Amino acid sequence: MNRKNTVACIAAVLSAAVTLGPLAMYTYTFGTHITNNHQKWAEFGTFLSGIYSPLLAAITLTVLVAQVTLQRRQTALQQQITDHERDQAYLVQARADIDFYAARMAETLNSIALPGVSLRSHLHKHFQPSNAQGLDSPELRQQAASIHHLMPAAFDIWAAIYPILMGLEAGKKTMFNLAYVSSSQKLIALLSFESCVVLDNFHRVRCERQTKINYTFSPLLASK
């Protein structure tokens, strides 16, 4: 007999004892003979009322408390299931968005920015200053403005990627952290780490400190 069945048997025995105990005591004390005395029946009714009314009230209260507790547990479980399904849907969409934007960014980086020079090569050449102060130089700002004017997709796609990364990074659950790491690694694998670095720098120069982003790749922009 398992623990659940044992508890059920004990509960049944206790319930029978509580329910039949007063009757057994009354019978043992006053006997089992039937009387025609109305007074005796009134006393018997008063006895039953005095014993079983509080007992029934206690049982009713216990049942109500058990129902409320069960309902709360079911609600909490359902909420957990709903939260998990919502989180899974969010992660699936985030991964799909990262795949889409990474593919588009790879195409854009390989596009020709200048005669005989791809955008990737142009960004690698100009957007790797030796220090963070170099990102605020007028020359680099002019370069960023020109690239954004000629090839706006480079800035727009990278700007679309960061809300996804930031959403994953802000997640408190392990699966969000893992998705953030895997998404970052996927961008590195598809674009190269150096390209991710220069895209961070390019985005930062073009925004001119007007956005609050914790950049992921550029060592010059790492949060202190």
Number of neighbouring beta carbons within 10 Å of residue 49: 10
In sequence order, the 6+-apart residues with CB closer than 8 A to the CB of 197 are 128, 217, 218, 219
Distance CA 9, CA 181 (A): 53
pLDDT tens string 149-162: 999 999 999 999 99
| Long-range contact set of residues 213-216: C-beta below 8 Å, sequence gap at least 24 | 213/162, 213/166, 214/166, 214/169, 216/165, 216/184
Mean pLDDT score, 159-181: 93
The model's confidence at residue 7, banded by pLDDT at 50, 70 and 90, is: low
pLDDT tens string 183-206: 999 999 999 999 999 999 999 999
pLDDT more than 90, % of the chain: 52
Write the DSSP symbol of residue 216.
Answer: S
Is 79 or 41 the better-scoring residue by pLDDT?
79
Identify the pLDDT of residue 67: 86
User: What kind and span of H or E run contains 61?
Assistant: helix 38-109
Poorest-pLDDT segment among 18-22, 85-89, 154-158: 18-22
Whole-model pTM: value is 0.70
In sequence order, the 6+-apart residues with CB closer than 8 A to the CB of 47 are 22, 26
pLDDT tens string 91-108: 999 999 999 999 999 999
Task: Kindly list the domain boundaries of the chain, sorted by start residue.
Answer: 3-76, 87-221
Is 94 or 38 the better-scoring residue by pLDDT?
94
Does residue 137 register a pLDDT over 80? yes
The model's confidence at residue 8, banded by pLDDT at 50, 70 and 90, is: low
Distance CA 214, CA 126 (A): 22
Mean pLDDT score, 125-138: 91
In degrees and rounded to multiples of 5, residue 2 shows phi and psi of -80, 175
Distance CA 190, CA 127 (A): 19
Distance CA 98, CA 168 (A): 11
Distance CA 204, CA 200 (A): 6
